Amino acid sequence: MTAQELQWARALAQQEVVKEGANVVSVTVTAVAGTVMESNLGYACTSSHVLHIRLIGTFPHIVTTGPGPWKPRSADPSADCTVRAVDITADAKTGRACQLGVRTGKVLPELGSVRLSIP
């Protein structure tokens, strides 16, 4: 991973932490071959190289309503739908984010990822 890619990943992670008032315990990044043509942020990642940034922690401003219509809701109170991580995909050539997603339940850093420190 290049110094520029690490800089972009760190900047995107910092922006997300500030925007969401997050308290993160882990920030990691991996660089992989790929593209994202169907963006949920308005920009495609077309350089054939993307960064996967994962922030693990608490995100008090992000709310999820549960598992969705494709999966039955559980009566089990341990079926926690609290957001535990935010995943950002960015174009490695431009540093522009093209996809954002959230994760619930137990979340771990991606295998082979580089740990980032953010202030």
Total tally of structural domains belonging to the chain: 1
Tell me the C-alpha distance between 34 and 46, whole Å: 8
Does some domain include residue 74?
no
Whether residue 58 lies inside any domain: the answer is yes
pLDDT at 76 > cutoff 90: no
What pLDDT, on a 0 to 100 scale, did the predictor assign at position 73? 53
Asked if residue 113 belongs to a domain, the reply is no
Take residue 19 and report the two structure tokens written for it.
């925007």
Backbone angles phi, psi at 3, to 5 degrees: -60, -35
Half-sphere exposure of 58 (CA within 13 A, CB side): 2
Summarised one tens digit per residue, pLDDT across range 18-49 is: 999 999 999 999 999 999 999 999 999 999 99
Residue 112 forms part of a structural domain: no
Determine the structural domain holding residue 90 and report its residue range.
3-68+80-107
Do the domain assignments include residue 21?
yes
86-98 residue pLDDT tens:
999 999 999 999 9
Residue 89 within a domain:
yes
117 occurs within a structural domain: no
Percent residues over pLDDT 70 in the chain = 87
Contact status, residue 109 vs residue 115, Cβ threshold 8 Å: yes
Whether 31 is in a domain gets the answer yes
